[in-house]
Structure 1
Amino acid sequence: MAEPMQVEVVSADQVVWSGQATNIIAKTVEGDIGILAGHSPVLGVLVPSGLEVLTPDGKREIIAVDGGFISVAHGRVSILSEYARMAGEISLPAAEKELAEAQARLDAGDEDEETRRHFVRASGQVRAAQKAQ
């Protein structure tokens, strides 16, 4: 069995998760990507979603991201996103309410950058919270 990979999930203001992993599943603009130890170098653009990180002890971590990048090289995986949060810290009902509010503002024609960013962030939170259930 190959050595686990070193993984870091970093948001704009903090390291959200760091540790060893045997498998990562992320959603990119081109579809889902699975990363195993020994994976060839890759750079991908993430969409709002819930990343899955499987640790050597069998634990499954779900992390909400609002987009960003995933980089794989030399046994290291870096996930960079403006917003990232552990799914266990997210209330699904609250995230669904945020998403509905942002969608309503978009539907009403309020398409400023802040509203779009709020919608994208809420989308990632809902997907991660659903995946963690």
Structure 2
Amino acid sequence: MSTVHTEIVTPAGKIFSGEVHMVSVRAKSGELGILPHHIPLVAPLEIAQVRLKHEDEKIVDYAAVHGGFIQVSRDAITILSEAAEMKNDIDVERAKKAKEEAEHQLSTLHESSEGYPEALLKLKRANLRLDTAAIADPVAES
């Protein structure tokens, strides 16, 4: 089974760098599953989980990626995002607090209010962090 070098990079630095068998992401155009030797592409990403399946398919890493882009070449995959966290690096208490703050902001704003889109984005990011952190054991589904 072959692998492809994959990196997840933020302005703060690399949060993941390694060889994986498959990368699953949610692009703006839909779900993508990328294997080694995939055709080159560049695609904008949604705020969503990224799944990194290793050569031993029972080992899977998860990351919460807050948008950005994926760039695929024949021998490398790079995910560039303004913010991203690996599952084990997520501060659950901070994410819970951010969720509560966003929900409170949304409850006090009308959809046409100036701060509404930012509060909605904050809620989406907090929920992504919490959902990613809640993934049980990083083992591939059978």
- Which TM-score applies when normalising by structure 2? 0.78
Q: Alpha carbons of 1:29 and 1:107: their partners in 2 closer, same or farther (altered >3 Å)?
A: farther
1:95 CA displacement: 2.5
Separation in 1 of the partners of 2:16 and 2:33?
Answer: 18
Q: Tell me, what secondary structure is at the counterpart of 2:39? A: coil
Contact 2:36–2:74 (Cα < 8 Å) also in 1: no
Identity rate, percent: 28
- RMSD between aligned residues: 2.3
Separation in 2 of the partners of 1:84 and 1:9?
Answer: 8
Unmatched runs of 5 consecutive residues or more in structure 2: 138-142
The one-letter amino acid paired with 1:89 is D
1:107 CA displacement: 4.0
Separation in 2 of the partners of 1:119 and 1:74?
Answer: 36
1:15-94 equivalent positions in 2, closer than 5 A: 15-58=14-57, 59-92=59-92, 94=94
Contact 1:43–1:69 (Cα < 8 Å) also in 2: yes
- Larger Rg over CA atoms: 2
Q: Tell me, what secondary structure is at the counterpart of 2:38? A: coil
Count matched residues: 132
Unmatched runs of 5 consecutive residues or more in structure 1: none
Contact 1:66–1:123 (Cα < 8 Å) also in 2: no
Separation in 1 of the partners of 2:35 and 2:136?
Answer: 21
Separation in 2 of the partners of 1:11 and 1:37?
Answer: 23
Which residue is 2:131 aligned to? Answer: 127
Q: Tell me, what secondary structure is at the counterpart of 2:122? A: helix
1:43 CA displacement: 1.1
Q: Alpha carbons of 1:49 and 1:132: their partners in 2 closer, same or farther (altered >3 Å)?
A: farther
Contact 1:49–1:125 (Cα < 8 Å) also in 2: no
Q: Alpha carbons of 1:50 and 1:41: their partners in 2 closer, same or farther (altered >3 Å)?
A: same
Contact 2:24–2:34 (Cα < 8 Å) also in 1: yes
The one-letter amino acid paired with 2:76 is R
- Which TM-score applies when normalising by structure 1? 0.83
Which residue is 1:99 aligned to? Answer: 99
